[in-house]
Amino acid sequence: MDSSIYIWNVWNTEQKKSRVFNVHTAAVKDIQWSNHGLSLLSCGYDCSSRLIDVEKGIETRVFKEDQAVGVIKFHPNNSNLFLSGGSNGLIRLWDIRTGNEANRYSRGLGPILDLEFMNNTREFISSSDESKSNISENSIIVWDVSRQVPLSNQIYVEAYTCPCIRHHPNDPYFVAQSNGNYIAIFSSKPPFRLDKYKRCESHGVSGFPIKCNFSPDGKKLATGSSDGCIYFYDTKTCHLIKKTKVYEQTCVDVAFHPVVSNIIASCSWNGEISVFE
């Protein structure tokens, strides 16, 4: 919220704050490492996304928009491309080499909450704050990346928004964290049906922007919760494996280490970040 970006040295017990970047002029909303780990991409309420060379400590590109930018997502196979989604419901595909947008995806949506590539990056999923009356048929949309058209928009018709979308690392399905206090499961093959018989529903969301993430092997799904706990689910059965109390306030995000799978990081609504083994 102070518009700063911090890089932490997790394993150093003395100098944990490794770098601080003050390139934004308003609160930072999302941040991602590039695929090669040399750059950072960030976005925020100053209506921009910014690329930072971490080693040199300098900003190398600015991508300006006419909306507050809430979520960014690097193309998994091409670090020169990334998606951005903002408060006006507009999604853009940017080319870092030129600094220009390569594609634009528009359907008059509410603010974009999350973006996720799938199916070998031919498609991506968007989640938006688009709930009208008792249905929200545009809240989750699958898009064709190259043709800029929605492939399906009547995937999730319950009156809840979904602050987080994650595709399974190996299997043909994705999950959506629902404000209905459960994680819904959808096929990533047309027509992208909701699995009505399986869901993860022991944790609480309660309107917070709570994220979830798969383990690198895809066997576990971890999520934060409004009760300050981390919940671990078995992805085959959706049964709760265990829950761990970590904060007094809401646990808003949890992520597995990409290489050392028994290491996880999580963060709290009060700004605290924790690393666990």
Do 242 and 232 contact (CB within 8 A), yes or no?
A: yes
Provide the token pair at 272. 């605290």
CATH number of 211-277: 2.40.10.480
Residue 205 has a pLDDT of 97
Residues 154, 77: Cα–Cα separation, whole Å: 28
Residues 6+ apart with CB under 8 A from 126: 85, 91, 105, 109, 112, 114, 115, 140, 141, 143, 165
- What pLDDT does 108 receive? 81
Residue 180 DSSP class? T
Parts of the chain with a pLDDT under 50: 133-134
Question: Which of 182, 172, 174, 156 shows the shortest CA–CA distance to 214?
Answer: 174
β-strand 182-187 against 149-152: which pairing, if any?
Answer: unpaired
The per-residue pLDDT for 111 is 94
CB atoms near residue 238 (< 10 Å): 19
| CATH node for 1-106 | 2.130.10.10
Q: Which two tokens stand for residue 42?
A: 């960030």
* pLDDT value for 11: 82
Least Cα distance to 47 among 69, 20, 14, 72 occurs for 69
Q: Which pLDDT belongs to residue 137? A: 63
For residue 88, what are its two tokens?
A: 């006006």
Q: Please tell me the predicted confidence (pLDDT) of residue 133.
A: 46
Is residue 228 within 8 A of residue 208, CB to CB? The reply is no
Q: Answer whether 162's CB lies under 8 Å from 177's CB.
A: yes
**pLDDT score, position 170:** 95
- Phi and psi dihedrals of 19, rounded to 5? -145, 150
Return the structure tokens found at 127: 């989640």
Count of residues in the chain: 277
Helix (H, G, I), strand (E, B) or coil at 181: coil
- Collect all residues with Cβ–Cβ distance below 8 Å to 52 and sequence separation of at least 6: 5, 21, 23, 39, 40, 41, 42, 58, 59, 60
**Predicted structure pTM score:** 0.94
pLDDT at residue 54 in the model: 94
Give CA–CA dist 252/268, Å, rounded: 6
